[in-house]
Amino acid sequence: MDHPRRRLPGELAFVLILLLFALTALWQAWRISGMSGWSTPGALPTLAALVMLLSGIKIAINTLRMPPPEVEPGRSLARDFLHQITPASIVLFTVLIVAYMFALEPLGFVASSFLFLVLAMFALGERRILRTLGISAVSLACIYIVFQTAFSVVLPEGILKGLLP
């Protein structure tokens, strides 16, 4: 690369995780057939894991050569990581997705999606509550109708069982 960019906060740790993963994958792939032949079920997984390991080492070397991340005085690298890579909005959004996942079956598609949409839009900074409620309701109605008619997808009914067409 002509102009190496600065290393991002957490990038080195991420490469190390990838390397560890590649090593584990190599070990696990090796366990499938070992060195019993060139056309065994374990041959390609072992090769793929080897490619991962080698390219991972190359990436690690490249990453080490990058200028280190700029850390403002008085701020730590960990804080910069939180700020740049996992800002609050993204963490919050991911937590909402997890909650939505678990609510999908017990609450049903319509109720859980409505809650998710309203909360997520609010979390992302859309503060006009009526607008949020309106958009969520209208778009959900559209999705629901399209799903039931065009795609004939069976959605979990949950607490609204029997109330919807």
Partner 1 sequence: MTEALSYFFMSWTDPYLLFLTAAGTFAGIYIGAIPGLSVTMAVSILISFTFKWHVNEALALIAGIYLGGVYGGSRSAILLNIPGAPAAIATALDGYPLAKRGEAGTAIGLTTVVSVFGGFIGIAALAVGAPVLSNLALLFAPRDYLMLAIWGLLLVGSLSGESLAKGLFAGALGVLIGMIGLDPMTAEGRFTYGIVELTGGIPYVAAMIGFFGVSEVLVQLHSLAITPVRQDVTKIIPSWALLKKYLPLSLRCSTIGVFIGALPGAGGDIAALMAYDHAKRTTKNPSRPFGEGAYEGIVAPETANNAAVPGEYIPMLTLGIPGDAVTAVIIGALYIHGLKPGPMLMIETPHLFWFCVGNLFLANCFLLPMGLSGIRIFAKIVETPKAILMPLILVLSAVGTYAIENNPTHIYWMLGFGVVGYFLKMYGYQVGPVILGIILGPLIDVSYRRAMISASDDPLQFLGEFFTSPVSIVLVAALAITVLSQTALWGRITGTGKRAGGYAES
> Both tokens of residue 89?
């909005």
In angstroms, give the least distance from the CB of 89 to partner 1. 6
In angstroms, give the least distance from the CB of 152 to partner 1. 6
Selection from 14, 8, 18, 90 nearest residue 54 by Cα: 18
List Cα–Cα distances, 14 to 58, 67, 102, in angstroms.
14, 16, 28
The H or E element containing residue 104 is helix 88-107
Residue type at 140?
A: L
In angstroms, give the least distance from the CB of 74 to partner 1. 24
Binding site for partner 1 (CB under 8 A): 1, 8, 11, 14-15, 18, 22, 25, 28-29, 32, 37-39, 41-45, 48-49, 51-52, 55-56, 58-59, 62, 85, 87, 89-90, 93-94, 97-98, 100-101, 104-105, 109, 113, 116-117, 120-121, 124-126, 132, 135, 139-140, 143, 147, 150-156
